[in-house]
């Protein structure tokens, strides 16, 4: 990590009814490399803030008949991360306190010098850079558990990673395909980290987990009062990711009524919040991930063909773990290193590695991670052996029993529950697939040691 936080160019809004103040501030700030917009009144300020995301705003305390204090919450509703600096010729301790209470970050009294302005801007730029660096660190931490998928000896996986590195430098929309648990989200985060947008936010929205109304609100935002329970404005993931990337996970489950709105954003970078008529713009790169056959979804009318063409400019295919036999030992050892903590576990026995390689891995990397986590919990020795793995890995039993094989109902139930758990992202989702409630699933997990 760098030892210092580099300065960065900011998007700055000036709101002042004195034309000379607007001109002087704009020239000074643009000379320092910032992007500046200047308006003379509160109404135009709100309109301008609705068109573009701003990092900093200089707001005059008295805007003709308007009060600059009242503008603070309106601007923050548009961009919660914005820093607002109040400027006034009528400075006092009381007015300074009031501005801070309303959400202002700083306060300048006229006449101010270019040096004072520069100091304020540098302070805001430093804080903004810190915020983005923290977001980047969180992204790195989020990637760490899945990082092993990017280390591979498998030719198919190598081709996918190489293509991902090439496409990262572009602004092209990317569709990542692969079975559940193959690491589609990890690859998307890696592409963002390799891109020129790495210093900006990345958001992920899981399309199957929200109702159409909540999904639209989460993606595009909503205005206060747009629907029952909308007690405050929500800027939405698109606005919050301005300049960065958004991943639409399992886009095959995107409701049909939202698909035209997403298509419009992909084409024009324009959208409206729920319950608001104002058109907004955002510079966001869109990536999508899916485990379903979108072409089949198009043929059955569940997915728009024009939307498929828009998101499928570049397609990246992640192979299932069963086709990456040469990577299984490396992946298992990496997961073991991450999960063993203070336990003195040196590795796996040769028999355990053979058992891992002979398994079909229907849950892919997610299932492998779960199996290693269970083994670490059970292992009290220096090496993880076959006895520490689930029963289907035992050499004494078939590794992949099927219906009709000479196995008990309990055994088939255990295997089915284990594989559903490996393929799903939550206990609630697994319980729904199994057709049981979470309490019953909990008892089954205890029964089978899952």
Residue ranges covered by each domain of the chain? 11-134, 145-317, 321-448
User: Mean of the pLDDT values across residues 417-427?
Assistant: 76
pLDDT > 90: what percent of the chain? 36
Q: Residue 148's pLDDT is what?
A: 53
Q: How confident is the model at residue 88 (pLDDT cuts 50, 70, 90)?
A: confident
User: Mean of the pLDDT values across residues 386-405?
Assistant: 68
Whether 312 and 297 have beta carbons less than 8 Å apart is answered as no
User: Mean of the pLDDT values across residues 199-207?
Assistant: 89
Q: Which residues, other chains included, contact 277 with Cβ-Cβ below 8 Å and sequence gap of 6+?
A: none
Whether 51 and 242 have beta carbons less than 8 Å apart is answered as no
Residue 399 has pLDDT above 50, yes or no: no
Whether 76 and 224 have beta carbons less than 8 Å apart is answered as no
- Using alpha carbons only, give the angle 266, 139, 213 rounded to the nearest 5 degrees: 45
Which of 1-10, 74-83, 110-119, 200-209 tops mean pLDDT? 200-209
Q: Residue 146's pLDDT is what?
A: 45
User: Mean of the pLDDT values across residues 202-225?
Assistant: 87
Q: Residue 364's pLDDT is what?
A: 92
- Using alpha carbons only, give the angle 67, 68, 70 rounded to the nearest 5 degrees: 75
User: Mean of the pLDDT values across residues 111-127?
Assistant: 83
User: Mean of the pLDDT values across residues 160-175?
Assistant: 92
Domain 11-134 identical in fold to domain 321-448: no
Q: How confident is the model at residue 147 (pLDDT cuts 50, 70, 90)?
A: low
Residue 48 has pLDDT above 90, yes or no: no
CA distance 362 to 104: 53
Short-list 137, 140, 186, 142, CA closest to 160: 186
Question: How are beta strands 66-67 and 56-60 bridged, if at all?
Answer: unpaired
Q: Which residues, other chains included, contact 374 with Cβ-Cβ below 8 Å and sequence gap of 6+?
A: 388, 389, 390, 449, 450
Residue 150 has pLDDT above 90, yes or no: no
Q: Which superfamily is assigned to 145-317 in CATH?
A: P-loop containing nucleotide triphosphate hydrolases (3.40.50.300)
Other CB atoms within a 10 A radius of the CB of residue 34 amount to: 18
Question: How are beta strands 383-384 and 347-348 bridged, if at all?
Answer: parallel
Tokens of 233: 């404005």
Residue 398 has pLDDT above 70, yes or no: no
Place of tokens 């701003």: 54
Short-list 289, 263, 198, 226, CA closest to 235: 226
Q: Residue 3's pLDDT is what?
A: 39
Q: Residue 421's pLDDT is what?
A: 78
Tokens of 132: 């983005």
Q: How confident is the model at residue 361 (pLDDT cuts 50, 70, 90)?
A: very high
Whether 1 and 121 have beta carbons less than 8 Å apart is answered as no
Is the preceding peptide bond at 450 cis, omega within 30 degrees of 0?
A: no
CA distance 369 to 378: 14
CATH 1.10.630.10 fits 321-448, yes or no: no
pTM: 0.63
Residue 406 has pLDDT above 80, yes or no: no
Q: How confident is the model at residue 249 (pLDDT cuts 50, 70, 90)?
A: very high
- Using alpha carbons only, give the angle 208, 210, 211 rounded to the nearest 5 degrees: 110
CA distance 375 to 403: 27
pLDDT > 70: what percent of the chain? 87
Short-list 252, 356, 370, 365, CA closest to 318: 365
CA distance 331 to 317: 19
User: Residue 93 to residues 65, 98, 100, 108, 189: CA-CA distances in angstroms?
Assistant: 22, 9, 11, 12, 47
- Using alpha carbons only, give the angle 38, 55, 226 rounded to the nearest 5 degrees: 90
Residue 44 has pLDDT above 60, yes or no: yes
For the ranges 62-76, 196-210, 282-296, which has the lowest average pLDDT? 62-76
Q: Residue 333's pLDDT is what?
A: 93
Residue 437 has pLDDT above 90, yes or no: no
User: Average model confidence (pLDDT) for the chain?
Assistant: 83
Which of 3.40.50.2300, 3.90.226.10, 3.30.43.10, 3.40.50.360 would CATH assign to domain 11-134?
Answer: 3.40.50.2300
For the ranges 281-290, 336-345, 417-426, which has the lowest average pLDDT? 417-426
User: Mean of the pLDDT values across residues 418-442?
Assistant: 79
Q: Which residue(s) pair with 56 in the sheet? A: 12, 83
User: Mean of the pLDDT values across residues 410-435?
Assistant: 79
Short-list 342, 400, 338, CA closest to 373: 338
Q: How confident is the model at residue 22 (pLDDT cuts 50, 70, 90)?
A: confident
CA distance 208 to 212: 9
For the ranges 115-124, 197-206, 248-257, 397-406, which has the lowest average pLDDT? 397-406
User: Mean of the pLDDT values across residues 260-281?
Assistant: 91
User: Mean of the pLDDT values across residues 222-243?
Assistant: 81
Q: How confident is the model at residue 106 (pLDDT cuts 50, 70, 90)?
A: confident
For the ranges 225-234, 237-246, 287-296, which has the lowest average pLDDT? 225-234
Burial call 271-305: b when 16+ CB within 10 Å, e when fewer: bbbbebeeebbbebbbbbbbbeebeebbeeebbbe
CA distance 360 to 57: 57
Which of 18-22, 242-246, 406-410 tops mean pLDDT? 242-246
User: Mean of the pLDDT values across residues 88-115?
Assistant: 73
* Helix extents (H) in 19-58: 19-31, 42-51
User: Mean of the pLDDT values across residues 254-258?
Assistant: 93
Q: How confident is the model at residue 416 (pLDDT cuts 50, 70, 90)?
A: confident
Burial of 313 (0-12, 13-18, 19+ CB in 10 A): middle
Place of tokens 């219906």: 403
User: Mean of the pLDDT values across residues 333-339?
Assistant: 91
């Amino acid at each position: 990590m760098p030892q210092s936080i580099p300065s960065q160019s900011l998007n700055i809004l000036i709101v002042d009814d004195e034309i000379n103040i607007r001109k002087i501030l704009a020239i000074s700030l643009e000379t320092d490399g910032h992007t500046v917009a200047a308006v003379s009144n509160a109404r135009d300020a709100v309109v301008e803030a609705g068109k573009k995301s701003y990092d900093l705003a200089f707001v005059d305390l008295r805007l003709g008949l308007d009060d600059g204090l009242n503008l603070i919450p309106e601007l923050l509703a548009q961009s919660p991360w914005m820093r607002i600096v109040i400027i006034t010729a009528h400075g006092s301790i009381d007015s300074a306190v009031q501005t801070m209470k309303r959400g202002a970050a700083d306060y300048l009294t006229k006449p101010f010098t270019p040096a004072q302005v520069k100091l304020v801007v540098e302070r805001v730029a430093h804080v903004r850079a810190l915020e983005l660096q923290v977001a980047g660190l969180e992204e790195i931490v989020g990637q760490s558990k899945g990082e092993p998928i990017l280390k591979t000896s498998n030719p198919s996986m190598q081709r996918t990673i190489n293509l991902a590195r090439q496409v990262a430098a572009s602004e092209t929309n990317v569709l990542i395909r692969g079975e559940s648990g193959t690491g589609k989200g990890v690859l998307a985060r890696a592409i963002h980290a390799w891109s020129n947008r790495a210093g900006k936010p990345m958001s992920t929205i899981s399309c199957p987990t929200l109702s159409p109304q909540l999904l639209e609100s989460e993606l595009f935002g909503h205005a206060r009062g747009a629907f029952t329970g909308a007690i405050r404005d929500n800027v939405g993931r698109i606005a919050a990711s301005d300049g960065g990337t958004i991943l639409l996970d399992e886009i095959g489950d995107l409701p049909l009524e939202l698909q035209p709105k997403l298509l419009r954003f992909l084409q024009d970078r324009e959208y409206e919040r729920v319950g608001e008529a104002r058109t907004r713009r955002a510079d966001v790169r869109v990536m999508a991930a899916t485990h379903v056959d979108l072409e089949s979804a198009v043929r059955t009318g569940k997915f728009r063909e024009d939307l498929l063409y828009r998101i499928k400019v570049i397609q990246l295919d992640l192979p299932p773990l069963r086709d990456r036999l040469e990577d299984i030992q490396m992946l298992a050892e990496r997961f073991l290193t991450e999960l063993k903590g203070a336990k003195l576990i040196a590795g796996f026995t040769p028999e355990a590695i053979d058992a891992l390689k002979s398994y079909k891995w229907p849950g892919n990397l997610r299932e492998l991670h779960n199996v290693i986590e269970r083994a670490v919990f059970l292992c009290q020795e220096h090496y993880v052996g076959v006895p520490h793995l689930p029963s289907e890995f035992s050499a004494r039993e078939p590794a992949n029993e099927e219906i009709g094989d000479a196995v008990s109902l309990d055994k088939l139930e255990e295997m089915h529950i284990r594989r559903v758990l490996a393929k799903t992202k939550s206990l609630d989702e697994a319980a729904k697939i199994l057709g049981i409630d979470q309490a019953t699933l909990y008892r089954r997990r205890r029964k089978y040691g899952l």
